[in-house]
Structure 1
Protein backbone atom coordinates (compact mmCIF):
# COMPACT_ATOMS: atom_id res chain seq x y z
CA UNK A 1 0.00 0.00 0.00
CA UNK A 2 1.37 3.39 -0.91
CA UNK A 3 1.86 6.22 1.56
CA UNK A 4 -1.16 8.52 1.33
CA UNK A 5 0.10 11.33 3.52
CA UNK A 6 0.99 14.81 2.40
CA UNK A 7 3.66 16.40 4.52
CA UNK A 8 2.77 19.93 5.58
CA UNK A 9 5.52 22.08 7.05
CA UNK A 10 4.67 25.60 8.17
CA UNK A 11 7.50 28.13 8.26
CA UNK A 12 6.68 31.44 9.93
CA UNK A 13 8.50 34.33 8.28
CA UNK A 14 8.76 37.88 9.52
CA UNK A 15 5.89 39.13 7.34
CA UNK A 16 4.50 35.96 5.71
CA UNK A 17 3.94 32.26 6.31
CA UNK A 18 5.30 29.65 3.94
CA UNK A 19 3.52 26.31 3.73
CA UNK A 20 5.68 23.57 2.25
CA UNK A 21 3.64 20.68 0.86
CA UNK A 22 5.06 17.40 -0.36
CA UNK A 23 3.43 14.18 -1.51
CA UNK A 24 0.42 13.45 -3.68
CA UNK A 25 -2.60 15.74 -3.49
CA UNK A 26 -5.53 13.48 -4.26
CA UNK A 27 -8.91 12.59 -2.82
CA UNK A 28 -7.25 10.51 -0.10
CA UNK A 29 -4.95 13.26 1.18
CA UNK A 30 -7.00 16.36 0.37
CA UNK A 31 -9.19 16.48 3.51
CA UNK A 32 -6.22 16.71 5.90
CA UNK A 33 -4.50 19.35 3.76
CA UNK A 34 -7.75 21.33 3.44
CA UNK A 35 -8.21 21.29 7.23
CA UNK A 36 -4.64 22.51 7.83
CA UNK A 37 -4.80 25.29 5.21
CA UNK A 38 -8.21 26.49 6.42
CA UNK A 39 -6.92 26.61 9.99
CA UNK A 40 -3.92 28.68 8.88
CA UNK A 41 -6.11 31.07 6.87
CA UNK A 42 -8.34 31.65 9.90
CA UNK A 43 -5.57 32.12 12.47
CA UNK A 44 -3.00 34.27 10.70
CA UNK A 45 -2.97 37.87 9.61
CA UNK A 46 -0.01 37.36 7.29
CA UNK A 47 0.00 36.29 3.64
CA UNK A 48 0.39 32.59 2.87
CA UNK A 49 2.81 31.26 0.27
CA UNK A 50 2.10 27.67 -0.74
CA UNK A 51 5.29 25.99 -1.89
CA UNK A 52 4.08 23.14 -4.08
CA UNK A 53 7.48 22.04 -5.41
CA UNK A 54 7.25 18.83 -3.40
CA UNK A 55 3.79 17.91 -4.67
CA UNK A 56 4.36 15.13 -7.16
CA UNK A 57 0.74 14.64 -8.21
CA UNK A 58 -2.46 16.71 -8.29
CA UNK A 59 -5.86 15.34 -9.06
CA UNK A 60 -9.06 17.38 -9.21
CA UNK A 61 -9.52 17.17 -5.45
CA UNK A 62 -6.02 18.52 -4.87
CA UNK A 63 -6.80 21.49 -7.11
CA UNK A 64 -10.09 22.01 -5.26
CA UNK A 65 -8.17 22.18 -1.97
CA UNK A 66 -5.91 24.96 -3.26
CA UNK A 67 -8.89 26.81 -4.74
CA UNK A 68 -10.91 26.48 -1.53
CA UNK A 69 -7.93 27.63 0.53
CA UNK A 70 -7.60 30.71 -1.69
CA UNK A 71 -11.29 31.44 -1.21
CA UNK A 72 -10.96 31.03 2.57
CA UNK A 73 -7.93 33.35 2.56
CA UNK A 74 -9.92 35.94 0.60
CA UNK A 75 -12.72 35.73 3.16
CA UNK A 76 -10.21 36.17 6.00
CA UNK A 77 -8.42 39.05 4.25
CA UNK A 78 -5.22 37.03 3.92
CA UNK A 79 -3.32 36.86 0.63
CA UNK A 80 -2.30 33.55 -0.93
CA UNK A 81 0.17 32.80 -3.71
CA UNK A 82 1.92 29.66 -4.91
CA UNK A 83 5.48 28.78 -5.86
CA UNK A 84 6.99 25.62 -7.28
CA UNK A 85 3.95 24.48 -9.25
CA UNK A 86 5.01 21.68 -11.59
CA UNK A 87 4.18 21.95 -15.32
CA UNK A 88 1.21 19.56 -15.38
CA UNK A 89 -0.41 21.21 -12.35
CA UNK A 90 0.30 24.67 -13.81
CA UNK A 91 -1.43 23.60 -17.01
CA UNK A 92 -4.47 22.51 -14.98
CA UNK A 93 -4.47 25.84 -13.10
CA UNK A 94 -4.56 27.61 -16.48
CA UNK A 95 -7.23 25.37 -18.01
CA UNK A 96 -9.45 25.94 -14.98
CA UNK A 97 -8.49 29.64 -14.87
CA UNK A 98 -7.38 29.32 -11.24
CA UNK A 99 -4.26 31.29 -12.10
CA UNK A 100 -6.47 34.38 -12.44
CA UNK A 101 -7.06 34.48 -8.69
CA UNK A 102 -4.18 32.39 -7.36
CA UNK A 103 -0.80 33.74 -8.45
CA UNK A 104 1.55 31.06 -9.81
CA UNK A 105 4.95 32.48 -8.99
CA UNK A 106 8.41 31.27 -9.95
CA UNK A 107 10.06 32.14 -6.64
CA UNK A 108 9.35 33.35 -3.11
CA UNK A 109 10.31 36.94 -3.93
CA UNK A 110 7.80 37.07 -6.80
CA UNK A 111 5.10 35.60 -4.54
CA UNK A 112 5.76 38.25 -1.90
CA UNK A 113 5.46 41.00 -4.53
CA UNK A 114 2.12 39.49 -5.61
CA UNK A 115 0.93 39.56 -2.01
CA UNK A 116 1.80 43.15 -1.18
CA UNK A 117 -1.20 45.19 -0.07
CA UNK A 118 -2.64 47.17 -3.00
CA UNK A 119 -2.72 50.67 -1.46
CA UNK A 120 -0.02 52.80 0.15
CA UNK A 121 -1.97 53.00 3.41
CA UNK A 122 -2.40 49.21 3.56
CA UNK A 123 1.26 48.73 2.70
CA UNK A 124 2.34 51.10 5.47
CA UNK A 125 0.09 49.30 7.98
CA UNK A 126 1.48 45.93 6.84
CA UNK A 127 5.06 47.15 7.22
CA UNK A 128 4.32 48.54 10.67
CA UNK A 129 3.01 45.07 11.45
Structure 2
Protein backbone atom coordinates (compact mmCIF):
# COMPACT_ATOMS: atom_id res chain seq x y z
CA UNK A 1 0.00 0.00 0.00
CA UNK A 2 1.48 3.33 -1.09
CA UNK A 3 -0.56 6.51 -0.97
CA UNK A 4 0.44 9.97 -2.20
CA UNK A 5 -1.15 13.20 -1.00
CA UNK A 6 0.33 16.69 -1.38
CA UNK A 7 3.93 15.63 -0.97
CA UNK A 8 3.36 13.02 1.74
CA UNK A 9 3.99 9.35 1.11
CA UNK A 10 2.88 6.72 3.63
CA UNK A 11 3.99 3.13 3.03
CA UNK A 12 3.17 0.19 5.28
CA UNK A 13 5.33 -2.91 5.24
CA UNK A 14 5.91 -5.84 7.53
CA UNK A 15 9.34 -6.16 9.08
CA UNK A 16 8.50 -9.47 10.73
CA UNK A 17 5.43 -11.36 11.91
CA UNK A 18 5.03 -9.00 14.88
CA UNK A 19 6.68 -5.77 13.75
CA UNK A 20 5.12 -3.43 11.20
CA UNK A 21 6.93 -0.48 9.65
CA UNK A 22 5.13 2.67 8.54
CA UNK A 23 7.40 4.78 6.33
CA UNK A 24 6.34 8.44 6.35
CA UNK A 25 8.08 10.77 3.89
CA UNK A 26 7.49 14.39 2.91
CA UNK A 27 5.57 17.11 4.74
CA UNK A 28 3.26 16.05 7.55
CA UNK A 29 0.81 18.87 8.22
CA UNK A 30 -2.91 19.65 8.39
CA UNK A 31 -3.23 19.09 4.62
CA UNK A 32 -1.50 15.70 4.56
CA UNK A 33 -2.41 14.46 8.04
CA UNK A 34 -5.52 12.58 6.85
CA UNK A 35 -3.26 10.30 4.75
CA UNK A 36 -1.32 9.23 7.86
CA UNK A 37 -4.53 8.95 9.89
CA UNK A 38 -6.04 6.65 7.23
CA UNK A 39 -2.92 4.46 7.16
CA UNK A 40 -2.96 4.18 10.96
CA UNK A 41 -6.68 3.37 10.93
CA UNK A 42 -6.08 0.51 8.48
CA UNK A 43 -3.44 -0.99 10.75
CA UNK A 44 -4.51 -3.60 13.27
CA UNK A 45 -2.17 -4.03 16.22
CA UNK A 46 -2.30 -7.05 18.51
CA UNK A 47 -0.80 -7.39 21.99
CA UNK A 48 3.01 -7.60 21.86
CA UNK A 49 3.09 -6.29 18.28
CA UNK A 50 5.45 -3.48 17.42
CA UNK A 51 5.04 -0.51 15.12
CA UNK A 52 8.05 1.40 13.83
CA UNK A 53 7.23 4.78 12.32
CA UNK A 54 10.16 5.51 9.99
CA UNK A 55 10.43 9.29 9.77
CA UNK A 56 13.81 9.42 8.00
CA UNK A 57 12.09 10.93 4.94
CA UNK A 58 10.03 13.44 6.92
CA UNK A 59 10.86 16.99 5.82
CA UNK A 60 8.31 18.92 7.89
CA UNK A 61 6.00 18.18 10.81
CA UNK A 62 3.51 20.62 12.31
CA UNK A 63 1.27 20.28 15.36
CA UNK A 64 -1.22 18.18 13.38
CA UNK A 65 1.50 15.67 12.59
CA UNK A 66 2.66 15.59 16.20
CA UNK A 67 -0.93 15.04 17.37
CA UNK A 68 -1.28 12.11 14.95
CA UNK A 69 1.93 10.52 16.24
CA UNK A 70 0.80 10.94 19.86
CA UNK A 71 -2.57 9.39 18.97
CA UNK A 72 -0.78 6.48 17.26
CA UNK A 73 1.30 5.96 20.40
CA UNK A 74 -1.85 5.91 22.57
CA UNK A 75 -3.55 3.50 20.22
CA UNK A 76 -0.56 1.15 20.28
CA UNK A 77 -0.54 1.27 24.09
CA UNK A 78 -4.28 0.55 24.23
CA UNK A 79 -3.71 -2.51 22.00
CA UNK A 80 -0.86 -3.75 24.21
CA UNK A 81 1.59 -3.03 21.39
CA UNK A 82 4.70 -0.85 21.30
CA UNK A 83 5.51 2.06 19.03
CA UNK A 84 8.95 3.45 18.22
CA UNK A 85 10.14 6.23 15.96
CA UNK A 86 13.10 5.82 13.62
CA UNK A 87 15.28 8.20 11.64
CA UNK A 88 14.01 11.44 13.13
CA UNK A 89 15.65 14.53 11.56
CA UNK A 90 17.78 16.36 14.19
CA UNK A 91 15.76 19.58 13.82
CA UNK A 92 12.44 17.77 14.24
CA UNK A 93 13.93 15.73 17.11
CA UNK A 94 14.88 19.02 18.79
CA UNK A 95 11.27 20.25 18.56
CA UNK A 96 10.07 16.92 20.01
CA UNK A 97 12.53 17.34 22.90
CA UNK A 98 11.37 20.91 23.61
CA UNK A 99 7.78 19.59 23.76
CA UNK A 100 8.78 16.74 26.08
CA UNK A 101 7.89 14.13 23.45
CA UNK A 102 11.32 12.51 23.81
CA UNK A 103 9.93 11.10 27.09
CA UNK A 104 6.85 9.71 25.32
CA UNK A 105 8.47 8.16 22.27
CA UNK A 106 11.31 5.69 22.00
CA UNK A 107 13.43 6.92 19.14
CA UNK A 108 16.14 5.09 17.21
CA UNK A 109 18.53 6.16 14.46
CA UNK A 110 17.38 3.44 12.07
CA UNK A 111 14.36 1.27 11.34
CA UNK A 112 16.51 -1.83 11.93
CA UNK A 113 17.50 -0.69 15.44
CA UNK A 114 13.92 0.26 16.29
CA UNK A 115 12.57 -3.07 15.00
CA UNK A 116 15.22 -4.99 16.94
CA UNK A 117 14.23 -3.14 20.13
CA UNK A 118 10.56 -4.06 19.58
CA UNK A 119 11.13 -7.74 18.67
TM-score range, shorter chain: 0.7 to 0.9
1:86 aligns with 2:89: yes
Structure 1 consecutive aligned stretches of length 4 or more whose deviation exceeds 2 Å: 112-116
Q: Which has the larger radius of gyration?
A: 1
Calculate the TM-score normalised by the size of structure 2: 0.84
Q: Which protein has the bigger helix share?
A: 1
Equivalent residue pairs, number: 112
- Indicate the residue corresponding to 1:44 in structure 2: 45
Q: Which protein has the bigger strand share?
A: 2
- Indicate the residue corresponding to 1:28 in structure 2: 31
Is this contact kept in 1: 2:87–2:111, CA < 8 A?
no
How far residue 5 of structure 1 moved from its aligned partner, in angstroms, is 4.2
How far residue 113 of structure 1 moved from its aligned partner, in angstroms, is 4.5
How far residue 36 of structure 1 moved from its aligned partner, in angstroms, is 1.5
Structure 1, unpaired ranges of 5+: 117-129
| Separation in structure 2 between the aligned mates of residue 38 and residue 98 of structure 1, nearest angstrom | 22
